[in-house]
């Protein structure tokens, strides 16, 4: 069955970077993209960006102001999301999901940004 397994929780200081991984299995990785969303405490879902696992093309939400990079490794069927210059507002659960319709989701990775 299709599975997306994300890396574990992180605690970071303001200004630091975080890199979350999303290891997939159960389907041909290169045939689907991976999208990244986040959910701040008590809030709704925000789309951050996505990557085509076929050609590596990416698109990002402009509100992230160039702080995010999404990559993928086809040899391990794993996608990554790196967020830089962390602020307390970046405290959230980060989700990966199989694109384009997000029909399978990872379990979420909690990232806490605190001094």
Partner 1 sequence: DILMTQTPLSLSVTPGQPASMSCKSSQSLLHSDGKTYLCWYLQRPGQSPQLLICEVSRRFSGVPDRFSGSGSGTDFTLKISRVEAEDVGVYYCMQGIQIPLTFGGGTRVEIK
User: In the complex, which residues of this chain contact partner 1 (CB under 8 A)?
Assistant: 35, 44-47, 59, 61-63, 95, 97, 100-108
Q: Are 52 and 33 in contact (CB under 8 A)?
A: yes
Q: Which is nearer to partner 1, 14 or 100 (CB)?
A: 100
Longest dimension (CA), the chain: 41
Tell the smallest beta-carbon distance from residue 75 to partner 1 (Å).
26
Q: Which is nearer to partner 1, 18 or 93 (CB)?
A: 93
Q: Which is nearer to partner 1, 61 or 112 (CB)?
A: 61
Cα–Cα distance for residue pair 89/91, rounded to 1 Å: 5
Collapsing DSSP states into helix, strand and coil, what is residue 31? helix
Tell the smallest beta-carbon distance from residue 13 to partner 1 (Å).
27
Tell the smallest beta-carbon distance from residue 99 to partner 1 (Å).
9
Cα–Cα distance for residue pair 82/20, rounded to 1 Å: 6
Tell the smallest beta-carbon distance from residue 39 to partner 1 (Å).
8
Q: Which is nearer to partner 1, 47 or 91 (CB)?
A: 47
Give the containing element (helix H, strand E) for 62: none
Distance of CA 9 to the CA centre of its chain: 13
């Amino acid at each position: 069955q299709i599975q997306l397994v994300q890396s574990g929780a992180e605690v970071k200081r303001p200004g630091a970077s975080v890199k979350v991984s999303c290891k997939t299995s159960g389907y041909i990785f290169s045939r689907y993209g991976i999208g990244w969303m986040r959910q701040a405490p008590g809030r709704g879902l925000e789309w951050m960006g996505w990557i085509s696992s076929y050609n590596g093309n990416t698109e990002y939400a402009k509100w992230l102001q160039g702080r995010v990079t999404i990559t993928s490794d086809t040899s391990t069927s794993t996608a990554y999301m790196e967020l830089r210059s962390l602020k307390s507002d970046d405290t959230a659960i980060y989700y990966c999901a199989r694109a384009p319709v997000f029909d399978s989701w990872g379990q979420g990775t909690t990232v806490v940004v605190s001094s």
